[in-house]
Chain A
Amino acid sequence: MKNERKRGVVCNTVFVMVAISLGVLSFGLSGCSRKPVDAVLVGERPVIFPDYREVTIPVNIAPLNFRVEEEDMRRCYISLEGENGDVLEYAGGNSIRIRPKAWKKLLAGNVGKSISVNVFTQSTGSGWNAWQPFKMYVSRDSIDSHLVYRLIEPGYEKWHIVGIYQRDLESFEEKPVIKNDMVGYNCMNCHAFCGGDPGRMMFHMRAANGGTYIVSDGNVQKLSTKTDQTISNLTYPYWHPSGKYIATSVNDIKQFFHAVKGKKMEVFDLESDVVVYDVEKKAILSAASVITKDAYETFPSFSPGGEWLYYCVAPALAMPASYDSIRYAICRVAFDVDKGRIGSLVDTVVCGDIHSASFPRISPDGRFLMYTETAYGQFPIWHKDAEIRMIDLKSNQQIDMSVVNSDDTESYHSWSTNSRWTVVSSRRDNGVYTLPYIAHIDEQGNPSKPFMLPQENPDMYDYFLYSYNLPELVNGEVTVSPYAIQDVALNGEAEQVVFITYPQMKTR
């Protein structure tokens, strides 16, 4: 072949490839303006996954990509029309991916307004159908920029790959905070942040390189937290807003497996107490702890001002025989920040006579107490009846949270730092894998329909075999390097925490 001819073949090939690429790009990304004409009106809203119909979304959320669930669908056309007149269009397959820049512009131009989503579908061998439009409401309240969660196989007794990850809610970027394959395939759990500050966090590792890890100002501490006076290592934590203390439970946790349909597994405590750890003194303070023999205390949290210590408590029934009759109440006790001690009067905030309550979390504005309610016990993740409840602490009235709940498990929840958003762990999608749902809570406590954490590929959840565990909203990126944590875990010596009884505290 002559050189000229070779050049011609190459040029033609390049031209064809460029043309095809441009065609694909224009069709798939920017969409097209070929709004179907003569579409038949369908009197229903389209079924989409995730279900983003009629949800309230923060202005700074990543694109809510979704998939149209229509059988035999060949093509679809979608337009997102803001009240300000901005329109985003898409035409192609059933999986809709919205360009981040255009999405940001659309949201920014419609703050406090709604976006109408019009879906047209065309099935094989038939014309276009126009579905009832649905709306997305763009809230004026922004959400914290990052969500930190543990990804774990929702297993029974074995884990393989576990990691604590952070997701930028304004994009789709997910980064590991620490993964267990970097530290000997141990178990890591119970990450907690001080008032949503990504610079102050703690978590535990169990088994290999076990210990409690506290990250503060880029420094990583490794602590051994089992003392002679406490039942176990520190377990379920909650930071005091001052950052000086961490309230945690100490638990002797056991589990068993059910034999009957509808029930899988039970997690219960043989013993448990609530203790307060002094971050500066590296000590557990007896005067600030609730250690009793006749009751099980667990899942502590502080009020936003730090003057109250909330916790769950139940009478110390014989376990596991009474596993299905033990019910936890939510109580609170005054906490003296300066002296590091609790008061003697205990208030019952939520009774545990009919239902059992766990995970008490007060909104950062101090107005609302959100908790999980289940028929019994304090570990509701395997209880299908578990639901989110909320009390207005101003009026002491329950708020109707039915819009947030589902037929399946709702369990853990966390507040955004501006108190307007909550992230709820729910198994509503498939009953096995816990996924995070974000819900708006207005100033009066009225919740909106929650929406699933958006992903770049809406099919991602279909093939994802991990649970999002303990989703915590934080107002920035966790900047400590995973390798720094790894280094401390592998090479650092765990510092032993001490237990200080009250007289010792006075003399210090």
Chain B
Amino acid sequence: MLLFFAVGCFLFFELNYRYWYRFMEQYSLFLLTGDYFIGLLRQPGGVTEYITSFVTQFFCFPFFAAVFLALFLSGIGGLFGLFLRRCGIQVPVVVAVLPVFLFWLYPVESVASVLAVFFGVLSAVVYSYCGRWAPRCVVGVLIVLVVYLVAAPAHLLAAVLIGVYEFCVGRSGRRFGVVAGMLTWAVVLPVIAMRTIYVIPVREAFFSKHLYHPEYPLPASFWYIWCSFPLMALAAYALRKRGRLFKKEGVDFVVLLLLLLIVMGGFIVYKRHPLEQAYRYDWYARQQQWDRIVRHAGEHPARDKDALVYVNLAYGHEGRLNEALMRYPQVGEEGFIPHDPKTRLGLIEASEVSWLVNHINAAQRFAFVGVLSSERCVQPRLMKRLVEACLVNEEYEAAGKYIKILEKTLFYRSWAKEQRAFFNPEKAAGADWIVEKRRYSPVTDNAHDVTIALPSALAFLIDDHPDNRRAFEYGMGYLLIYKDLGAFMYYMNQMKERGERFPVLYQEAICIFYAAMEKNPEAFASFGIDPEVYQRFQGYLSQHRTLSPALLAKQYGDTYYYYAQFVQPPKRPNR
């Protein structure tokens, strides 16, 4: 049954949380330095964090996170089952894995939680194998101490489970003393640590700062998960004499197995991460696989703003934003870039979009904020962006600092080493991406925040470099979405003067502009409208009053003039 559970764990996390854990890999940075190890060793729960950090760096590899979680969660289930048996409670494994299901219900960001629970249950099992009462108590005290230093707050779980064990198997006179003693020791220990070794807040002393983001309150799921083990043990102890559910031999096992499979199947099918699509796109973006985002979005429309930002970003990278803009629903400015971002994903997206439109300082700024606002103040992917931005801006000392850090990792090392070559001006001048970024870097200083005043920030970028295609496409996309055709035509006239060819979307907008606002619709002829575009527009003009809305949408739904006439523009974000 444990094997079934392990397989279920693997499927659940692999199918539903694959990209979530790949995303979380970015928020940990395992350094191969002695100071990193010693620094963590000096914190309660630091060893668990060290292991977590080491393990997390492998989450980028296929199946790794799911295999790791499957092993450890089923390990917790197995150990808890063993613990129950040590307590004299004979229950099916399915009972032992019930608390572990809470990790399915509330998937954790950091596997430190899983490891801490594992250590907590393991230490209780170890304790249960200590024979005589007096040495067992001494071992218990030591176990709680060691587990506190290694895997706090697992010491609380260990102490409670030790108490449960003594309650179940101990002699009546002593057992309450041991229970009270262990619990008191587990509670007093962090207080002693606070007053002697550490200067840390109470929460960190008791619960460590590594399990959950210390700036936010402990989630309710923490209490559910951690309390479920002793509660389940006590409940099983209370019901230990109830006997089998079914009289016939083996039926219990089959029924419980079926129940387990049904529950696991339900979870696997229905419990998905709500932002799974955005995390998937973030992963593709990390790999520069913009075509995969485009392909996936073609089959699965963006479900949220974060995913939409990535879809627009992908089309922007592919140079096809103007071609695709009307093919999928837009939400306005926040579909291009998050508004005043504060979330992890939002800050990454803001940095990515700023980088695309060649606003290097903004890309650097959001990368920087993304690094320092993360739980551990590290974010290797954004550190890479900081290196790139520093190289473009010729801030070599700062680039060197981040490179040095990344060189101490297992998987960012080779990339970091490669960047050192660009400290050489000749090498940098030969790197296309640096040349492009330097070429389109802003010239005119301005204070417009690209996430708060996107059109103004883009206008400066375009005015500085009219051939900055990425910024231009984003800028025109913005104007078209909000139907600001007056400003749009200002840029079209500039394009015309430069003798550039107009993409179909722009041609459609020019057509509708002249048809709707100019007295002379023929004036657009000077813009070099393609005959096909012109004919389709003429068709639209002649049919749009006669065709049914559904048919009109089917025939012209991908055109700008249809959007201009029938689609309500999104509300602008509050400034």
Contacts and interface: CB of A to CB of B under 8 A. Distances in A.
B373 A158 contact: yes
A146 to B, nearest CB: 16
A13 B356 CA distance: 61
Contact of A181 (B204, B371, B393, B448): B204
A175 B199 contact: yes
Interface string B372-384: 1110011000000
Given A158-B369, A257-B361, A258-B447, A432 B401 contact: yes
Interface in A243-268: 256-264, 266
Main secondary structure of the interface of B (DSSP, over half): loop
Contacts of A83: none
A345 interface: no
Interface stretch (A38-46, A118-126, A418-426, A455-463): A455-463
A432 B361 contact: no
Contacts of B31: 463
B201 A432 contact: no
Contacts of B369: 155-158
Nearest to A161: B377
A392 interface: no
Contacts of A460: 35
A430 interface: yes
B373 A259 contact: no
B147 interface: no
B520 interface: no
A463 B145 CA distance: 31
B408 A463 contact: yes
B368 A176 contact: no
Contacts of A429: 397
Contact of B460 (A160, A181, A259, A430): A259
Contacts of B460: 259
B413 interface: no
Contacts of B360: 261
A431 interface: yes
B196 to A, nearest CB: 12
Contacts of A182: 199-201
A225 to B, nearest CB: 25
A259 B35 contact: no
A256 B448 CA distance: 8
B215 A160 contact: yes
A182 B203 CA distance: 9
Contacts of B457: 259
B372 A153 contact: yes
A144 to B, nearest CB: 22
B478 to A, nearest CB: 18
Contacts of B377: 153, 160-161, 465
Interface in A7-64: none
Contacts of B209: 181
A156 B360 CA distance: 15
B401 A430 contact: yes
A463 B362 contact: no
Nearest to B194: A483
A260 B447 contact: no
Interface residues of B, number: 46
Contacts of A161: 377
Given A156-B365, A259-B446, A261-B441, A465 B199 contact: no
Interface string B16-46: 0000000000000001010110000000000
B85 to A, nearest CB: 33
Given A262-B393, A430-B398, A459-B35, A257 B405 contact: no
B33 A459 contact: yes
Contacts of B574: none
B49 to A, nearest CB: 15
Contact of B199 (A179, A263, A431, A459): A179
A262 B390 CA distance: 10
Contact of A433 (B394, B401, B441): B401
B361 A465 contact: no
A175 B378 CA distance: 23
Interface string B426-450: 0000000000000001111111110
A431 B397 contact: yes
A304 interface: no
A161 B372 CA distance: 9
A256 B447 contact: yes
Nearest to A157: B369
B400 interface: yes
A460 B405 CA distance: 11
Given A159-B372, A181-B209, A176 B199 contact: yes
A160 B372 contact: yes
A256 B446 CA distance: 9
A256 B447 CA distance: 6
B395 interface: yes
Contacts of A128: none
Given A181-B209, A181-B214, A258-B445, A160 B373 contact: yes
A159 B369 CA distance: 8
Contacts of B442: 259-261
B280 interface: no
Given A432-B398, A462-B401, A465-B377, A155 B368 contact: yes
Contacts of A262: 393
Contact of A261 (B361, B378, B401, B446): B361
Contacts of A263: 361, 445
B404 interface: yes
Contacts of B339: none
Contacts of A459: 33, 35
B216 to A, nearest CB: 9
Contacts of A433: 401
A465 B443 CA distance: 30
Contact of B445 (A157, A260, A431): A260
Counting chain B CB atoms within 10 Å of each CB, the highest count among A159, A256, A432 belongs to: A432
A483 B214 CA distance: 18
A259 B405 contact: no
Nearest to A258: B445
Nearest to A261: B393
Interface of A: 153, 155-161, 175-176, 179, 181-182, 185, 256-264, 266, 320, 429-433, 457, 459-460, 462-463, 465, 482-483, 486
Give 3 closest A-B pairs by Cβ, nearest first.
A256-B447, A153-B372, A259-B442
Given A262-B393, A266-B447, A482-B199, 20 more contacts: A153-B372, A155-B368, A155-B372, A156-B365, A158-B369, A181-B200, A181-B209, A182-B201, A259-B361, A259-B442, A259-B446, A259-B448, A259-B460, A320-B447, A431-B398, A432-B398, A432-B401, A459-B35, A465-B371, A483-B199
6 contacts: A181-B200, A181-B214, A259-B444, A261-B441, A463-B404, A463-B408
